[in-house]
């Protein structure tokens, strides 16, 4: 009985998402009087640029209000009855004492530098450097409506296959070679290192940690419930154009890259989705990445990626720290007891599992067979300092 109800709910949600995506243009979030796709360095310094940012201010305000409302509701529910909600965490307060502060890993610092630099290049690169590689497409959710990007984003043609087939044969070849070349070589490391939407979600996670607000702990059932929705979005992403719809009206990336570049682009359901992305990213790191259709498609090629996650099963003590740290909820990295390569199609190569692993060389990340980041007990223990009596304290 429960399984039938679950199937019915899943089908209803997927049909609802499909209908919402198809009729997205009927629900405007913010409309400019006329779309302006022209921008310049002079425009970025003018009052006109501030006006193009108005939708982002509205989105940020709605997301902040929603976050505060959720925090208040969680506190009320936790106070009245913890059984009434699975989203009220067991820990209702921050433990007293000093939390261990690890020395920042070089890998993490490099990842953040690459994410910030790539977001800057994708948004303003073409405008500032005057360089455009229109024949090369990168599978990153940086909106193609942003005409000032240095490179094209392949998401537009993947979501508009009917328009792709209308291009000259040499343009189609260039698109396929560049898109799938990057996908095969890098896999979903593109999500962890290059995607501007990933950067935004990581920033929201940092804000939550600094504000000491409790996140929402996902369990296997919750991740399982998202799986049908993820595949539904993939089908909508690829097939909506053949039904006469436009996925761009549904995609949250429209609300970031073009507007930040100074382009006056009207938002439809995409604006509401972006509010949910910010809220989700605050309470659950990389929440949108768990259902992102483009990320799921890139995951098809994870077997060929040069980035791999390797595990020394002999060194693993099954503490579960890797599973707790993984923003994508990948459990096989914790449960695997035989294979060395534990890379999965959902892994975004963020390195959090390796960072939190307390055993030397139990987990490592490799690129083209060479280790670039490994787990270390010493790095974990560096967060613990001896007190006045010589004992270790947190």
Q: How many CA atoms lie within 13 A of 331 on its CB side?
A: 7
The answer to whether the CB of 70 falls within 8 A of the CB of 64 is: no
Residue 289 vs residues 113, 131, 229, 241, 325: alpha-carbon distances, Å: 20, 30, 12, 22, 15
Determine the pLDDT at residue 330. Answer: 92
How far apart CA 293 and CA 237 sit, in angstroms, is 7
What pLDDT digit, counting tens, does each position of 363-390 carry?
A: 999 998 899 999 988 877 765 555 545 5
Determine the pLDDT at residue 94. Answer: 38
Confidence band of 34 (pLDDT split at 50, 70, 90): confident
Give the mean pLDDT of the chain. 86
* pTM (two decimals): 0.88
All structural domains of the chain = 1-87+99-305 (no CATH), 308-381 (3.30.70)
DSSP state of 86: T
Residue whose structure tokens are 């005057």: 130
Sequence-distant (6+) residues with CB within 8 A of 225 are 6, 10
How far apart CA 46 and CA 42 sit, in angstroms, is 7
Q: Is the pLDDT of residue 82 over 70?
A: no
Sequence-distant (6+) residues with CB within 8 A of 304 are 184, 185, 187
Q: How far is CA 190 from the centre of its chain?
A: 10
């Amino acid at each position: 009985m429960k399984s039938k109800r679950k199937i019915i709910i899943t089908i209803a949600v997927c049909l609802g998402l499909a209908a919402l995506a198809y009729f997205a243009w009927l629900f405007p979030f913010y409309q400019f009087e006329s779309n302006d796709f022209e921008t310049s360095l002079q425009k970025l310094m003018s009052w006109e640029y501030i006006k193009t940012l108005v939708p982002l201010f509205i989105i940020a305000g709605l997301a902040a209000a929603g976050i505060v409302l959720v925090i208040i509701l969680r506190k009320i529910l936790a106070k009245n009855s913890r059984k009434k909600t699975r989203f009220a965490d067991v820990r209702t307060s921050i433990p007293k004492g000093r939390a261990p502060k690890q020395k920042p890993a070089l890998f993490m610092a490099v990842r953040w530098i690459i994410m910030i630099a790539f977001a800057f290049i994708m948004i303003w690169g073409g405008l500032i450097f005057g360089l455009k590689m229109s024949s090369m497409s990168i599978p990153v959710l940086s909106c193609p409506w942003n005409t000032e990007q240095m490179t094209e984003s392949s998401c537009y043609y993947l979501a508009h296959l009917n328009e792709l087939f209308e291009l000259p044969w040499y343009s189609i070849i260039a698109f396929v070679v560049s898109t799938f070349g990057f996908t095969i070589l890098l896999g979903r490391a593109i999500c962890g290192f290059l995607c501007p939407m990933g950067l935004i979600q990581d920033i929201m996670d940092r804000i939550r940690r600094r504000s000491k607000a409790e996140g929402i702990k996902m369990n296997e059932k919750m991740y399982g419930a998202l799986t049908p929705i993820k595949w539904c979005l993939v089908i909508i992403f690829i097939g909506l154009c053949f039904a006469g719809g436009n996925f761009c009206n549904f995609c949250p990336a429209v609300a970031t890259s073009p507007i930040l570049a100074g382009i006056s682009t009207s938002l439809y359901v995409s604006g509401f989705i972006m509010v949910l992305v910010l809220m989700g990213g605050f309470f659950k790191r990389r929440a949108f990445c768990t259902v992102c259709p483009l990320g799921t498609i890139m995951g098809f090629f994870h077997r060929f990626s040069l980035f791999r996650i390797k595990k020394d099963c002999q060194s693993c003590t099954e503490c579960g720290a890797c599973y707790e740290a993984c923003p994508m909820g990948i459990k096989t990295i914790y449960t695997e007891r035989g294979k060395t390569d534990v890379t999965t199609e959902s892994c975004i190569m963020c390195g959090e599992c390796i960072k939190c692993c307390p055993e030397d060389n139990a987990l490592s990340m490799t690129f083209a067979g060479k280790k670039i980041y490994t787990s270390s007990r010493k790095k974990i223990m560096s967060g613990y300092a001896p007190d006045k009596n010589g004992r270790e304290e947190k």
